[in-house]
Structure 1
Amino acid sequence: MTFPFPPAQGCVVITGAGTGIGEACARHFAAQGARVALIGRRRASLERVAAQTGGIVLEGDAASAADWERFIAALEAEGGVASLIACAGGLGAGSALQTGDDAWAAAMRANVDTAFVSARACLPQLIERRGSIVLVASIASLAAGPEVCGYTTAKHALIGLMRSLARDYGPQGVRVNAVCPGWVRTPMADEEMLPLIARHGDTLDEAYARVCADVPLRRAASADEIAQVCGFLASPAASIVTGAAIVADGGSSVVDVPTLAFERV
């Protein structure tokens, strides 16, 4: 099922658009007829996605208010902002004792500041158009993985940001939701498989199978599957949905972890 996006409303603005879920969102929205604006720090990646989607390339840092002044000026010339899909993120590995001040600040900037600064910059136009925001969070927004203190804390913060924005700007017609993926096969997740590949001699497919062994669907998502969830939340089909954290994790968050030992008896 598809959810066509009315291009007359303005641009779908996607941060972290050069790779992974952001790239998949760009392809998805462009296929639904939307004009997409691609934000990221690596021009070559953005231009590659733009060649596939006809998107507008806006090179810069989504966490920078100064860069957003430039982005907004360019977006106004393209019809304004109809939706924001905040995909930029990453960093934050290590336990608390392994996380220095610079690493902590980098995790907050990559995951929280990018979403907050982007939303703040886009809100005036979203209010005008009664638009929507989708924050790409994580199941790390709901539970803690091992030794990812900065990432877990930042992703939890995104849920608070989403709820605050939904409460404050819902009366002005702006819907704000979050998507919480589990494992998604992206270049970033591929890198996270490397320790398992080294330790167990797994192939990449075998490493993904290992981390998904207790996921009810027994597999990772594709970036395109998460993009479809984002597409639904930004579409008129989700017109009553706001303040929601939509979990798209193959069912992993419903597993009662303390009972897994009984399955292995």
Structure 2
Amino acid sequence: MRFSGKTAIITGGGTGIGAAVARQIHLDGGNVVLVGRRLEPLQAVAAETGATVLPADAADTASMKAAVTAVVEKFGSIDILVANAGGHGVGPTISMSDDTWEQAVRLNLNTAFVSARECLPHLITSRGNIVVLASIAGLFAGPDAAGYVTMKHACIGLAKSLARDYGRQGVRTNSVCPGWVTTAMADEQMQVLVEKHGLNSIEEAYALVTKDVPLGRPATPEEVSHAVCFLASAEAAMINGAILTVDGGASTVDLPTLAFAN
């Protein structure tokens, strides 16, 4: 019950990693607040966990201020922010529209910045912490994904700045960088590979994208949630400004030596 008496806000908490984090914090005794723009998936997770649902746009200041006020009124404090909302921003730079770029900024970076800014006064009071969901796309560049790659790099920079600026006030901030994770969003990308390479299933596509990953498979949302919850817990009391990769060892591979592998 490591989160007993603690209140956690999870942005983008209705699906994938956010939903898995919500379930784990609930199992560990915490109060869970789900923030997102789509009501139905939030309600589905709340039905499992008893979480509080607050439909809100984490990138919108007024919307996030109202959500934070509601949380404090109900629970008295905010102890954990999991800045999980994100996605989008793919396509070649040469043909990327202004709208696609701005959407990448809003959905990935602005959601993390605005939610952190609005939660910070309460996190300082509670000596709480922030976990930013970035990606190994925040460490390396995938093909034709300049918007997503750039914003995930920026999310790591934001987390480092928060760790530097608010550590003395008791607020820890860390980043989690997953590789491929079996979520609905990733399934959509796997379907692209199924069609491109004439594969028989999404499972074959996951096998293709992880063929050079040392563990040879994608992560589950639950596996990523364990990393997030560790960083959010008192067990990580001396960890601040860290980048934790949850990628099966993908980021350890030296790409120029792949030709020598069996």
TM-score of the superposition, structure 2-length normalised?
Answer: 0.98
- Report matched runs for 1:93-172 at 5 Å: 93-172=90-169
Secondary structure of 1:241's counterpart equals coil
Indicate the SS of the match to 1:153.
helix
Task: Supply the distance in 1 between the matched residues of 2:19 and 2:31 (Cα, whole angstroms).
Answer: 14
Q: Give CA deviations for 1:33-81 in whole Å, capped at 9, x if unaligned.
A: 0000000111111111001011000001000100012101211122221
The residue that corresponds to 2:42 in the other structure is: 46
Q: After TM superposition, which residue ranges in structure 1, 4 or more long, deviate above 6 angstroms?
A: none
In 2, Cα distance between equivalents of 1:130 and 1:48: 31
**Distance in 2 (alpha carbons) for counterparts of 1:236 and 1:215:** 31
What is the 5 A alignment of 1:198-237?
198-202=195-199, 203-237=201-235
Structure 1 unaligned spans of 5+: none
**Identical counterparts, % of pairs:** 52
Between the two proteins, the alignment pairs up a number of residues equal to: 260
Q: CA deviation at 1:259?
A: 0.6
- Residue 218 of structure 1: how far off its partner (Å): 0.1
Letter in 2 for 1:166: A
Instruction: Return the alpha-carbon distance in structure 2 between the equivalents of residues 154 and 199 of structure 1.
Output: 27
* CA distance in 1: counterparts of 2:77 and 2:142, whole angstroms: 39
One-letter code aligned to 2:43 = E
1:120-162 Cα distance to aligned partner (Å, 9 max, x none): 0000000000000000000000000000000000000011100
Q: 1:6 aligns with which of 4, 7, 22?
A: 4
Cα distance in structure 2, aligned partners of 1:242 and 1:139? 19
CA shift, 1:194, in A, is 1.2
User: Hey, what's the Cα distance between the residues in 2 that align with 1:199 and 1:110?
Assistant: 27
Distance 1:87 1:105 in 2: 18
Tell me how far 1:6 sits from its aligned partner.
2.7
Q: Return the match for 2:14 from 14, 18, 40.
A: 18
Shift of 1:200: 2.4
CA distance in 2, matches of 1:24, 1:89: 15
User: Residues 195-222 of structure 1: CA distance to partner in whole angstroms, max 9, x if unpaired?
Assistant: 2111223211111000000000000000
Letter in 2 for 1:18: G
Q: Could you tell me which residue of structure 1 aligns to residue 245 of structure 2?
A: 247
* Equivalent in the alignment of 1:177: 174
* CA distance in structure 2 between the aligned counterparts of 1:198 and 1:61, rounded to whole angstroms: 33
Aligned-partner SS, 1:84: strand
Q: Partners in 1 of 2:103 and 2:197 — Cα distance?
A: 31
**How far apart are 1:100 and its partner, in Å?**
1.2
The structural deviation recorded for 1:263 is 1.5
Within 2, Cα distance between the matches of 1:154 and 1:226? 20
**Distance in 2 (alpha carbons) for counterparts of 1:252 and 1:113:** 27
User: Aligned to 2:83, which of 81, 86, 91?
Assistant: 86
**Which residue number in structure 2 is paired with residue 28 of structure 1?**
24
The two structures, once aligned, show a CA RMSD in angstroms of 0.9
Q: Distance in 2 between matches of 1:79 and 1:251?
A: 40
- In structure 1, the partner of 2:256 is 258
Output the CA distance in 2 between the equivalents of 1:241 and 1:45. Answer: 32
Distance (whole Å) between structure 1 residues aligned to residue 95 and residue 167 of structure 2: 40
Q: Normalised by the size of structure 1, how large is the TM-score?
A: 0.96
